[in-house]
Structure formats: C-alpha cells, structure tokens
Amino acid sequence: MGFPGTWMTESESVVYRVVPKCACSTIGQILYYSDHGEFFDGDIHDAETGLHKWAFERSQTPITRNVQGHDSFAFTCVRNPYTRILSSFFDKICGIQRNGKRYRGKLVPMLIYKYGIEVGGDDGQDPFDQIKSFRRFLLFARDTIRWRRPMDPDIHWSAMSGHVGTFIVNGGTYDRIIWTEAFDDGMTEVLNAIQTPHPVDLTSIPRFNESEGHGPKRAHPVEDYFDDLSMHLVYEIFKQDFDLFRYDLENPSNKMPVGEIDLDEVHAKLGG
C-alpha cells in the first residue's frame, strides 16, 4: 500500500501526510517555499515538480526509504470534524471546482435525485435551505462511510484517522500532529524542529485556501447545522477523530481542541 497522501520536500527536510480539508494547500506551499524560496504558481496540488509526492512513481522510493527509516521530521494536520464536514459540503457539493465543473461529475445530480439535496443552482450562488440540504448530505456521507453505498467514501469527508493511520500502518512515525485551529503555533513548532534551505517567516505567509469561492458562503453559525440527529451521525462517522485529536463532540460551536494529542495513543490505536 505504501504511503498514499504523503509529500516530502526535495531536500528531505520534512515529511507531511496530507489530510484533505486541513490546511493542506497552505502547508504544501510552505514546504515548497522552504526548498525553493518562492511559492508554486498555482494550486500546490497541481505541482508536478518541486515536491516529492507519493502519487509520482519517481517519488515513491525516496519517500519509502525516508519514512521507514524515520530519517526526517514527520507531521500531519487535523481539523474539527464539524467544521471539516461542513467545509466539504460547501466546497465539493455546492461549489464549482477550479476546472469549471461540478465535483466528480454525476455525484451532485445523484445527490439531488436520491437525497433531495439543493446546491444553490447551476453556479452554487442561488439561495437555498443550507441547513436542510447539509443534513441530508450528512446521511449520504454516513452511507458512504458505513456501507460504502451508493459509492465509496470520498477523501474529503472520510475520517481523518483513516488518512493519518495509513502512514503508521505502513511503517511511519509522526513527530507532531498539529491543529488547523492553532495553525501558526503548530507550524512554528514544525519549522523550529527542521532545517530548511530557505527560512520561512510564518507571519508573512498568505493562507492558500484553494477551495474558497468555489461555493456559497455559509449563512449560519456552525452549530445551527447540527441538531441532535446530525450530531449523532457525526459521532457515528468521526468518533475516533474526536477521541484521538481531542475535539469537543458535545458543542459544535467550539471549534478548538479540548486537550493535548497523545502521539503514543495515536500510534497505538491507528497502527493495528
């Protein structure tokens, strides 16, 4: 299986396991800048040079050697499950993607037909009942994750622990897991722990939110989208994410973690 979703700087200063919807565009650009002294011109996910990525066959041998030997500092980044699944809905389901099309072709028409979801019209900008449609999307996400129907779960709403765990199962070890909600603090710790060809001043780094503007703006506070049933569904889908990464299941309005991540626990529970 190897190390899917793993990126590494060409200088091998640091290894990063990508978790979708968790500041991955900004982190990727920071890694690129730390090697080259400039940002990639475009979406870092499209970069085919300048970073080792597991998706490139030429990168798989150096990534495998480095990760299994734990030759470099390795980290990942996680996010509150409530805000992450909401972001996935507005970006991937309601939004028009950067290629000018709907995400995954026939996915949105299928959701409209089978789950009664609205997405804001052809361009995602028409008014619609965001709360009702999001809650129906949650049912769909649960169906994909629990029963793998009507399709396999998508990387943008499958559990973070699944992404994080593949790195461990195949022989990787994390030195740090940072929170999106405390990004500057976490990324500072990562940068302080490594040597990069070009120094990185986090205070001057822009946020590369490549999904911003794809879909409609969220019209309500986070907690308004989650009634008792929705919270139960989120817990059913993301129980391990809440537990391991220390997020507040009981209060969707609290996006901040409520405790420290125990790396030994993460390795033990996701390494099997």
- The pLDDT, as a whole number, for residue 98 is 80
Residue 214: per-residue pLDDT:
64
The values of phi and psi at residue 75, to 5°, are -150, 170
pLDDT at 1: 78
Which residue carries 């030994």 as its tokens?
264
Cα 235 to the chain's mean position, in Å?
18
pLDDT in the model for residue 179? 98
Q: What DSSP state is assigned to residue 122?
A: T
188-199: pLDDT as tens digits: 999 999 999 999
Query: Which single residue is written with the structure tokens 């060409």?
Result: 10
Tally Cβ neighbours within 10 Å of residue 144: 18
* Continuous segment of H or E residues that includes residue 165: helix 160-169
Q: How far apart are CA 272 and CA 267, in angstroms?
A: 9
Torsion of CA 155, 159, 160, 163, to 10 degrees: -60
- What pLDDT, on the 0 to 100 scale, is given for residue 54? 98
Which H or E run contains 82? helix 81-88
User: Which pLDDT value is given to residue 226?
Assistant: 98
Nearest to 19 by CA among 138, 164, 124: 164
- The first and second tokens of residue 43, run together, are 């979406």
| pLDDT by 10-residue block (mean), the chain, 272 residues | 95 98 96 97 94 98 98 98 96 86 90 93 85 97 93 94 97 98 97 96 83 76 97 96 98 97 98 86
